[in-house]
Amino acid sequence: MAEDGKIKRVSIVISKGSLEGVYPGLIMANGARMEGIEASIFFTFFGLDAVTKKRMKKLKVATVGNPAMHMPTLLGMLPGMSAFATSMMKKEIEKLDIPPVDEFIEMFHDAGGELYVCKATVELFHLNKEDFCDEVDAILTVGQFYEKSAGAQIIFT
């Protein structure tokens, strides 16, 4: 935080690959850019799905073991329940004029936001740079992420 009490930089960590795990970080990061705040996003573990070409348009709502769904886990296990919940959430997101994940990532990057993926997770999942969308700026170690985030507010979503 700067002397005037205003946030100047944020680094947001996204570790979950579900719609409800990705959108909060994208909304916060994009909001920061719209306010003139420097922003970067660090994707790790299943959060990599948000920037993986093959998966970024196929994110789903987690219905099993998600207490925020306000239904018994058994119902979340029923065939088609995740698809139904995902469809409903996407409709509500569209009503609010919030773009799909791939467009949101492009908008954020075009606004000057930086996108990084975790090197350890890339290796763990046997991925490489070509597996990610063009907006990903670099594959970083955690140490490199901390260096790039020096002076920033680090937010985990």
Give CA–CA dist 135/88, Å, rounded: 28
93: Cα separation from own chain's centroid: 15
**Ranges of the chain whose pLDDT falls below 50:** none
SS (H, E, C) 111-135: CCCEEEEEHHHHHHCCCCHHHECCC
Instruction: At 152, list the tokens.
Output: 């920033």
Contacts of 46 (CB under 8 A, 6+ apart): 15, 16, 17, 18, 21
The class (CATH top level) of 9-156 is alpha beta
What span, in angstroms and rounded, lies between the C-alpha atoms of 23 and 2? 27
pLDDT value of position 119: 98
pTM for the full model?
0.88
CA–CA distance, 22 with 43 (Å, rounded to integer): 9
